[in-house]
Structures are given as C-alpha cells and as structure tokens.
Amino acid sequence: MAESAVSAAVGSISNLAAQETSLLCGVMDEVGFLKAELERLHGFLEDAKHKRRSGDASAAVLVGQIRDAAYDAENVIEASEYMVKRNKLKKGFMGAISRYARLPTDLIALHKIGVEIQRIRRKISEIFDSANRLKIVGLGNPTTDIGHADDEFPQDYDIMYQNFEDDDVVGFDNEYNEIVEKLVEQENELSVVSIVAMGGAGKTTLARKIYNSTRIRNHFDTTAWVTVSQKFKGIDLLKDIMRQIMPNKLESREIDQMQELEVGKKIHEFLLNKRYVVVLDDVWATDTWNQINRVGKVFPDANNGSRVLLTTRKEDVANHIEMSTYIHPLKLLDDEKSWELFSRKSLPSYKRSSLQDVNEFEELGRKLARKCNRLPLALAVLGGYLSKNLNIQAWSDIFKSRISTKNGQMMRDILARSYNDLPNNYMKSCFLYIAVFPEDYSISTADLVELWTAECFVQPRRKYKPEELAYKYISRAEVSSFNTMTFYRNSFHHFFDDKILQATAYKRTTLGFSVPSMFLLKLKFLRVLHVENSTINNFSMAISECIHLRHLILRNCVSVRLPPSIGKLLYLQTIDLRRTILESIVPESLWNIASLKHVYLSGGFYPTRNGKQKELRTFHLETSSFNYFRSSASAIVKFLGQMTQLVTFVLDFSRTDIPVEMIKMLANMPDAVEILLCRFDVLDKLPGSTLFPQCLRQLDLFANVIKEDPMPIVEKLPCLVVLSLSGYQGRTMSCSAQGFPRLQRLDLSVFYTEEWIIETGALPRLSFGSSLV
C-alpha cells in the first residue's frame, strides 16, 4: 500500500508540473523539492518492509508514516491542481481574470498550500532521521514497478466475456437432476430440500446451478437467494428476501424503515398466493430456522408446491427444521471426475494446444488432483493457480510441498502464493482490496475495476487505459468467477491470513453497509465513498467539500439529495445511485465534471446541451417512469447520442417503454461492448447489423413485441458472445450457416416461434448454459 501511495503522489506532482500554469508559480519550487524527497523516500520502503516482516515493530510504524506522508503530499498537490481546474471553469470577466492572474482568494489558498508543503517536508525529514536510526537502507530511486513489458499479461482471452462453459458442476449431474426433481415434484406440501456436505464440496455451486436453471425459473412464480453465514441478523435476511421477491412493490426507503414483525408479515402475505423457492445458503446454526421465523411464520404453506432449498455443513441443521425435509448428502467426486475438473481449470483448451509436453503436465496434474481429496473448491483453486504457472518445475514444487486440504490450509496456501507471485505492488494492492468488503458480500468485477482506478492502484501504461489494465490484473490474480463475473468475498474471508488482512487499512475510503442512520464526517480528503442500504442524514451539506472524491456509490439509500454543488467534484470518476430514492432530480451540474467515466442513475436527470464528458465509458439508467422528461424526450435522445465513446450502455425501464428512437443511437456508439435495452413496446425490426457496434460482445434487447426475425441481423455481429432477446412474435426464426461465430450464451424469452431453422455451421461455440423460455 505504501508503494502505491508514494507512486500516486509522485504521479500527481508530475501531472501538475506538466500543466505549466502561472497560477502556481509561487509554490512550484516547493512542489519540486517535495517530489524529489518522495522519490528518495520510495527507496527506503523495500528494506523497511523487509524488517517489518521480520517482526520489527518500529519498521512497521515507519512504513505507516511513509504511507501517511505520501497521502498528505497527494492531497496538497491535488488541492493545487483543483485551483487550476476550478478557475478554468469560471465564466465571464472574473473567469478571464482568474485564468491569467491571481485573485486574493487564490493568494490565500496558495499561502496555505505552501505552508502545508513545508509541513510535509518536515515530516519526511523526520522519517529520514528515523530510517537512519533503524539502519534502514535506501535503494536510491527505484523505478516504478508498473513499467513491465506489455507481454506481462496474457493476451489470449477476454476476461469479461470468456469461458461460459458449464464446467463448475463436473461430476454432479446425477445430484443436479435428483435435487431438481425433488423441488418440482407433485407433492404440494411446503418442504425443505437440504444439501449437506463438508466445506469446499461444491454445495453452493450446485445450488446456484439449480437456482439459475430454466426449469426452476419456469416452475416457480418467485425466487430468492440469501447467504446466511455464521454471523447473520434475521431482520437483514428478511429484508434481503423482500427486496428480491418484491422489487417493484416497495421502495427501498419503505423496507429500511420496517420492523422485523412487519417485514415477516409482508413476506408471508406476498408469498401466500405464489409458488416460491427460497434458497438459504451456508446455514451454520441449528436455530437459524427459528431465528428467521421468531416473529411469525415467514414462509407460508399454501399447499401449492413451494420449497426451501438449504445448504449446510451439518446434518443436524437440516434435521432441526420441523417440516417435511429431504436431506441430500453430497458425495465427493471420484478420481476421474476430480481429474476432469482439475484439467479443465489447470490446462484449458486455449492453453493446452500451445504446450509441447502435455503428457508430462497431465501425469503430474493427476498426482496434484489427488492431493485435493476430491473437493471441487480445492481442485478449482489449485487448478486455476497452476494454469497461470505452466512450468513443470513450478508444478513439481507444489506437489513436493506439504499442501493439504485440512482446515482450509490449501486455500490459504494458494491465496498466499497467488499474492506473492503478483509481479508488482499495484497488483498486490488490488488483490488485498477484496478483503475490505464484508463477509458474504458479492463484489462485481466492474465495481472492483472502478474502485482500483479511483484508489490509483492502476496507473496507465503505453498500450492500456487504467480500466483495461485492471481487468488484466483480475485475470493475473486468478480470483474471478467467469460464469458469474462476481467475486465472492466469503471465499477470501475464511482463508486470508491475518497478516495479509492487516495490510488493508484505508484512510481515504469509507464503506458502509446496512447502517440504519449515518452522518458523513471528516470527508475532506476522501477518495471513495461506498454506502449501501443506509440512511444518510447530511449528504447534501457534506459532499461539496470532498474535492478529492473519485468514487461515489449510494445504492439502496434514503434521504439523499444531490445538490448542484456536485459539479464541484472535479476528480469524480464514478457515480452510482442505483435503487436510491433521491429527494431531487440529478442536477445538470453533474455534467460539468469532465473526469466522469461511469454513471449509474436511478430515476430522473437533467440533460445538458454542452456536456464535457470525453472519458465517459458507462451510462446506466434505471427508471420506473419516463414521464418526468417525456416532454423533453428529444433532448434526452440528443444528449445520449453525443456519448460516442461509451463502452457500456444500459436503459432499464421497469414500468414504462423506451422510445423507439433510442435504438437509433447505437450507431453513434462504435466502441460499445455491452448494451442492455429494456423494454420497448413494439419494434417492427432491428436496425441493420452495420448500425450496431461491431465490437459488441453482449446484447440484451427486450420488447413486448418484435415483429421481424432479429436473427439475420444480430448473427452478423462478429464479436457477440452473449445474447438475450425477448418478445419475438414471428412464426419462424432462422440462423444461417455462418451465423454467430463467437456466441457462447443465448437466452430467449417470451418467444412464440413455431419453427427455428439452424443451418449447419451456425452457433459453433454455443454452450449448454443457454436458455429458451
């Protein structure tokens, strides 16, 4: 972390110097001295860290002091740069003066900046004195560790849209079919189906596969999934279930204010007329069922075939539930299935073909697979790690080590090896960031990439933008789930070593989850504000002083008013207001922020004629009503049509229809990789394939009615990997012989097609995970 902080501070100084602004000429000499001292300080870090790892408490304190000094330096440099940015935005006579002369307010601010730089230099001088007393050796001015060759990262696959093969449930075909049959059988009485097995045996993976299956989705009217864990709160579980089963019935504000008795009663009333399945994953305690139902019977028995699917390590947990219960002990994989899963993870087809000594890898791989004791999680984790180390000596070293699945030792060992193998400190900072989130929290890949960028863990390189490099970091760290594109925090919680967790102290980050009521205090130097399921009491007053803020997430929050001063946050890169009830429409001043890269809105916003967004990559709008800007729909279309650099474009209208003219905007988004449009009313036909972005990899398109066969158009998209379509009403549908050359997943819903013609050679890569509803 300290290396990242120092490098980020030096980078900020370099950026400021490159602007050559006359406004700061009074402090630029001080800034130059500060940069030189920070670079020298960087040279002491490696030896200080080595002494800290050896148990030297004083060295550990010194590393923290270096990090804090770097943070202070970056803050004061950015305050200087902020003055420049702010003055460039001023208009009229005073704006012209402020750009070419120093106003009294600027002189006062410059004086404060100069004083602060001198304070930081004194602090650094004291650190040098401490380093000398501790005999910590400086290594000169080491080059930054982000300048590795561009071939440091694999180029042979795309982490966002690769590997939809359904290989995570290898060996569980019989179990899968048996449990599905139990869930959908004709028995009408409410019953529980329990999957029981030791940790790492694949319970959650199998349950997730079942839960997401087309047959389950079609059979039950409503579904919900909650992870229970060891430290759960009954009311939080119930509110989570309510949000899933009643997404359009109640607003987040209403749910947050409910007491446990009311939540349980509303769930009971809603489910009474539904055939439902609720998954309780990772149940540890025998009294969990009683805790959930302590204020009344939450899950009604309407004699309609509803089910509860439960996963647990303990059979007595399943036996404790006082209702009809089917217990399915999950068997471990046999040797052949263990090798099948291990080989898919360690020697995937896209790498196997380039190996000269495949037989040698397979022979050693079978021995390593046996060390995993037939546990799917161990097989997947070890296999994934080895796929990044296709070296016989590395595989042999792992085999000779005392690697064991006992008490999660293998998980800890592989995670530690993955961390230590990362080639630079930036990637290690990214890896450790996962541990900041609560247990059982699902972290999306997009969230991580945006957070890492906001924390300056990812610096631009010759061939890559920071976001592109971040996705490659994820690939290299080998911690992603390709099928869900979600990081599961609990996987790390159980296996991270305490010493690694100690390194995750962030002074410039505030994260809050399900906090009943919170005040935002001491936010002046904040870079990241991530709050979910909470009530924020003073947001509009506190936010304007957060001039360093890069990442603002307020999801499922209440009492939030976005003030016009939001436009003063000139470093803001991400704003995410999904499912948050705003007390006012998003102000037009938001579009004054040139640094915006990712915008996720819920509800309304004011468009602007002269948006400054040149870096915007994501625009995501969720709304239940288009009425608030229906009178200015043409302005909205024009505004969105200017976003020619978008990579992700989402319009999700739950209770209204997207205007048909919106689809024409796709021609203005040549770089779009992911598009979701939900929902149109009637589409006569899709625009020609040449009007779609040619690099498009995921397309989700929903309408009440699509009149003309969409396949002849979308099959021509050369990079399309994921396709979801809804609403085609035609009698026939056709896919030509050369159609969909890269498509791996196809989901069709609300289709009334009588005949589907698929010519030989079409859909060559389609996986069995696709669904037709």
Q: How many CB atoms lie within 10 A of CB 747?
A: 16
> 155 falls in which pLDDT band (50, 70, 90)?
very low
Residue 732's pLDDT is what?
A: 96
User: Is the pLDDT score of 153 beyond 50?
Assistant: no
Lowest average pLDDT, out of 140-144, 293-297, 609-613, 663-667, goes to 140-144
Counting residues of the chain whose pLDDT is more than 70, the rounded percentage is 80
Could you give the 3-state DSSP secondary structure of residue 676?
strand
User: Is the pLDDT score of 532 beyond 90?
Assistant: no
Q: Is the peptide bond before 679 cis (omega within 30 degrees of 0)?
A: yes
- Contact partners, residue 417, CB within 8 Å, separation at least 6: 385
More confidently predicted of 268 and 33 = 268
Residue 710's pLDDT is what?
A: 96
Q: How many CB atoms lie within 10 A of CB 50?
A: 13
Rounded Cα distance between 403 and 371, Å, is 8
Q: What one-letter code names the amino acid at 647?
A: V
Q: How many CB atoms lie within 10 A of CB 311?
A: 28
Rounded Cα distance between 384 and 497, Å, is 20
> 100 falls in which pLDDT band (50, 70, 90)?
low
Lowest average pLDDT, out of 19-28, 46-55, 378-387, 390-399, goes to 19-28
User: Is the pLDDT score of 345 beyond 70?
Assistant: yes
Provide the terminal-to-terminal Cα distance of the chain, rounded to the nearest Å: 48
Lowest average pLDDT, out of 223-227, 230-234, 319-323, 490-494, goes to 490-494
Q: How many CB atoms lie within 10 A of CB 445?
A: 19
β-pairing, 674-683 vs 574-576, is unpaired
Most confident of 271-280, 441-450, 550-559, 744-753: 271-280
User: Is the pLDDT score of 741 beyond 80?
Assistant: yes
DSSP state of 283: E
pLDDT single digits (tens) 436-455: 777 667 778 888 889 888 88
Could you give the 3-state DSSP secondary structure of residue 728?
strand
> 163 falls in which pLDDT band (50, 70, 90)?
very low
Q: Distance from CA of residue 215 to its chain's centroid? A: 28
DSSP state of 595: T
More confidently predicted of 332 and 469 = 332
pLDDT single digits (tens) 691-725: 999 999 999 999 999 999 999 999 999 999 999 99
Residue 504's pLDDT is what?
A: 45
User: What does the chain come to in residues?
Assistant: 773
Residue 64's pLDDT is what?
A: 82
Residue 749's pLDDT is what?
A: 85
Mean pLDDT of 346-372: 87
Q: How many CB atoms lie within 10 A of CB 28?
A: 17
Residue 772's pLDDT is what?
A: 58
User: Is the pLDDT score of 478 beyond 60?
Assistant: no
User: Phi/psi of residue 412, each to 5°?
Assistant: -60, -40
> 487 falls in which pLDDT band (50, 70, 90)?
very low
pLDDT single digits (tens) 184-204: 998 899 999 999 998 889 899
Mean pLDDT of 537-559: 86
Residue 162's pLDDT is what?
A: 46
Mean pLDDT of 154-159: 41
DSSP state of 535: B
Rounded Cα distance between 259 and 262, Å, is 5
More confidently predicted of 100 and 402 = 402
pLDDT single digits (tens) 35-50: 888 888 877 777 777 7
Residue 632's pLDDT is what?
A: 63
Lowest average pLDDT, out of 16-20, 419-423, 486-490, 656-660, goes to 486-490
Residue 150's pLDDT is what?
A: 44
Could you give the 3-state DSSP secondary structure of residue 620?
strand
> 164 falls in which pLDDT band (50, 70, 90)?
very low
User: Is the pLDDT score of 642 beyond 90?
Assistant: no
Q: Mean pLDDT in the chain?
A: 81
User: Is the pLDDT score of 395 beyond 60?
Assistant: yes
Rounded Cα distance between 545 and 522, Å, is 10
Counting residues of the chain whose pLDDT is more than 90, the rounded percentage is 31
Rounded Cα distance between 517 and 256, Å, is 10
Residue 522's pLDDT is what?
A: 63
Q: Containing H/E element for 623? A: strand 618-623
pLDDT single digits (tens) 247-295: 665 565 677 778 899 999 999 999 998 999 999 999 999 889 988 988 7
Rounded Cα distance between 441 and 153, Å, is 28
Residue 508's pLDDT is what?
A: 74
More confidently predicted of 27 and 33 = 33
Residue 768's pLDDT is what?
A: 52
User: Is the pLDDT score of 488 beyond 60?
Assistant: no
Structure tokens at 690: 């040449």
Residue 672's pLDDT is what?
A: 94
Residue 168's pLDDT is what?
A: 58
